[in-house]
Amino acid sequence: MSSQKRKQVILGAYLGGVNHHTAWWDPQAGSQIEFDSFEHTARTAERGKFDFFFLAEGLALRERAGQIFDQDIIGRPDTFTVLASLAAVTEHLGLAGTINATFNEPYELARQFATLDQLSGGRAAWNVVTSFDAFTGQNFRRGGYLDRAQRYERAEETVALVRQLWDSWRNDDIVADKASGRFLARPDAGEFAFHGSHFDVNGRFTVPRSPQGRPVILQAGVSPQGRDFAAGNADAIFSPYGQLPEAADFYRDIKARAVAAGRDPGDIKILPSASFVLGTSEADAIEKYREIRDQQVTGQTALVLLEQIWNLDLSKYDPEGPLPDIAPDPEAPPIIQGRAFIHQDRFATVAKLRAVAESKKLNLREVVIDQFERGPIVGTPQQVAEKIDSFVSNDGSDGFILGSHLVPTGLDEFVDDVVPLLQDRGVLRSDYEGTTLRDNLGLPIPVQREHVTAR
């Protein structure tokens, strides 16, 4: 091994959930709700010296054609509560959660993350997502709908305000000197005022400054607007690209945007999510993956995935036959509700699918697998370790957010069989060096901004 330190692989662990990938039909599958499942996965990730555990969020149950979707997992626990409970059973693992910036108020979510950060000794991370669908809004006071431009504006203001709240206490504001009777260094600790177009607020924040300066901010962003927002604001970005060379293009692009925003490119980490399938030989691993995939993408699942594009009821079509011969209907009321929807030109997507079906001679279900299933990392432990290391060292990313199709024990074999190989390669720590999530990720403690209060 060379004496020069190799580029380290950042590892996050997610718990599979609300999608067709999570193999609830497997006899070994455990609960999606009971704390045991989360505890097992988090402890396993910490045993594997992962950087963080990640929990996604959803605020309305998925519906298809006006009925609650029943083919795959629905239902999940509350993100904050699970993460705070996990803080009790882990010591070093970062605790990252998605919290929607539209259906949570900045003051409250800043306070919840700041509390999680205190109770975990500086291990909290917020994955910022925005939502604009009136469907989810029906569960909340705010209700309504934000158009796309407003949605980013509100998200930007939310992040700016949340940061201001996290910066409202200085490191030395709590004196707590029993002899003199002085608890606070200054009477206005935590005071803030923010005047934006979405928020006009002022008051005092109740939670002292974080042990890691500020909680870590994660984001996803694919559109140019989203990329700029993320490059300017985030400590880490979820990359949608799991294959070189487009992953490396994205990597370079984000780092360049971060530099343009005046940041050190090393201070923003780029992380695609991936699953994995391990085998005793390459052929064994591929065979296992095929079996899993056939259960994940049944004919019925393939039709539902296509319905999201066609926006029509396709249940009468034969999954083993050709693609539907009708045009998509962007104007109809959405057939699938409560799923993240990426803006796209439905006609162009359909044309592309038809071209793929034609050239590769694929039936409907095969097209879906070919086009929608981002392949997991498949191979022997050696091969998987090699693929991860090589992808990261070639700047496809700074690491991976890994999860298994099997909840909650799927991560075990990765930690048992792949992690030691990554450690042997010198790309994964053999023990934690610091105490906070920023320490794990190699991120600096952010400089505290002074805010002029308006009162």
Distance CA 363, CA 262 (A): 49
Adjacent-strand bridge partners of 55: 97
Contact criterion met (CB below 8 Å) for 102 and 142: yes
**Least distance (Å) between residue 283 CB and another protein:** 27
Contact criterion met (CB below 8 Å) for 404 and 337: no
Tell me which stretch binds another protein (CB under 8 A): 102-110, 235-243, 256-264, 407-415: 102-110
Tell me which stretch binds another protein (CB under 8 A): 97-105, 260-268, 319-327, 393-401: 97-105
Question: Residue 125 CB: number of other CB atoms within 10 A?
Answer: 28
Distance CA 108, CA 162 (A): 9
Of the two residues 118 and 393, which places its CB atom closer to another protein in the complex?
A: 118
Mutual angle of helices 346-360 and 364-372, in 10-degree steps: 110
Q: Which amino acid is at 138?
A: Q
Of the two residues 117 and 389, which places its CB atom closer to another protein in the complex?
A: 117
**Least distance (Å) between residue 252 CB and another protein:** 38
**Least distance (Å) between residue 67 CB and another protein:** 6
CA dihedral defined by 143, 145, 150, 154, rounded to 10 degrees?
20
Count of residues interacting with another protein (CB under 8 A): 72
Of 54, 61, 15, nearest to 34 by C-alpha is 15
Q: Interface with another protein includes 145 (CB under 8 A)?
A: no
Tell me which stretch binds another protein (CB under 8 A): 146-154, 171-179, 214-222, 280-288: 171-179
Distance CA 261, CA 201 (A): 27
Say which DSSP state 18 is in. Answer: S
Residues 406-445 that bind another protein (CB under 8 A): none
Q: Interface with another protein includes 340 (CB under 8 A)?
A: no
**Least distance (Å) between residue 301 CB and another protein:** 8
Q: Which residue spans within 47-112 are E strands per DSSP?
A: 52-55, 63-64, 67-68, 94-100
Of the two residues 205 and 229, which places its CB atom closer to another protein in the complex?
A: 205
Of the two residues 79 and 397, which places its CB atom closer to another protein in the complex?
A: 79
Helix (H, G, I), strand (E, B) or coil at 288: helix
Mutual angle of helices 35-47 and 79-87, in 10-degree steps: 50
Q: Interface with another protein includes 120 (CB under 8 A)?
A: yes
Was 223 annotated as part of a binding site?
A: yes
**Least distance (Å) between residue 193 CB and another protein:** 9
Tell me which stretch binds another protein (CB under 8 A): 29-37, 256-264, 309-317, 398-406: 29-37
**Least distance (Å) between residue 215 CB and another protein:** 13
Return the ∠ at Cα 386 (arms to 392 and 426), rounded to 5°: 70
Of the two residues 8 and 301, which places its CB atom closer to another protein in the complex?
A: 301
Residues 263-302 that bind another protein (CB under 8 A): 298, 300
Of 221, 230, 247, nearest to 393 by C-alpha is 247
Give the number of residues written for the chain: 455
Q: Interface with another protein includes 108 (CB under 8 A)?
A: yes
Residues 45-64 that bind another protein (CB under 8 A): 58-61
Of the two residues 88 and 332, which places its CB atom closer to another protein in the complex?
A: 88
Residues 68-87 that bind another protein (CB under 8 A): 68, 70-78, 80-82, 84-85, 87
**Least distance (Å) between residue 162 CB and another protein:** 13
Q: Which tokens in the block code for residue 31?
A: 């609960």
Q: Interface with another protein includes 107 (CB under 8 A)?
A: yes
Work out the widest C-alpha separation in the chain, in whole angstroms.
Answer: 82
Of the two residues 115 and 150, which places its CB atom closer to another protein in the complex?
A: 115
Was 430 annotated as part of a binding site?
A: no
Residues 213-242 that bind another protein (CB under 8 A): none
**Least distance (Å) between residue 420 CB and another protein:** 28
How deeply is 169 buried, as exposed, middle or buried, from its count of CB atoms within 10 A (0-12, 13-18, 19+)?
buried
**Least distance (Å) between residue 194 CB and another protein:** 8
Residues 174-203 that bind another protein (CB under 8 A): 174, 176, 178, 181-190, 199-203
Q: Interface with another protein includes 315 (CB under 8 A)?
A: no
Q: Is the previous residue joined to 245 through a cis bond, with omega within 30 degrees of 0?
A: yes
Q: Interface with another protein includes 118 (CB under 8 A)?
A: yes
Helices H, strands E: what count in the chain?
15, 16
Among 206, 315, 390, 453, binds another protein (CB under 8 A): 206
Of 338, 411, 284, 252, nearest to 60 by C-alpha is 338
Distances (CA, A) of 228 to 123, 152, 156, 172, 186: 26, 11, 11, 34, 37
**Least distance (Å) between residue 422 CB and another protein:** 29
Was 397 annotated as part of a binding site?
A: no
Binding residues for FMN: 98, 152, 223
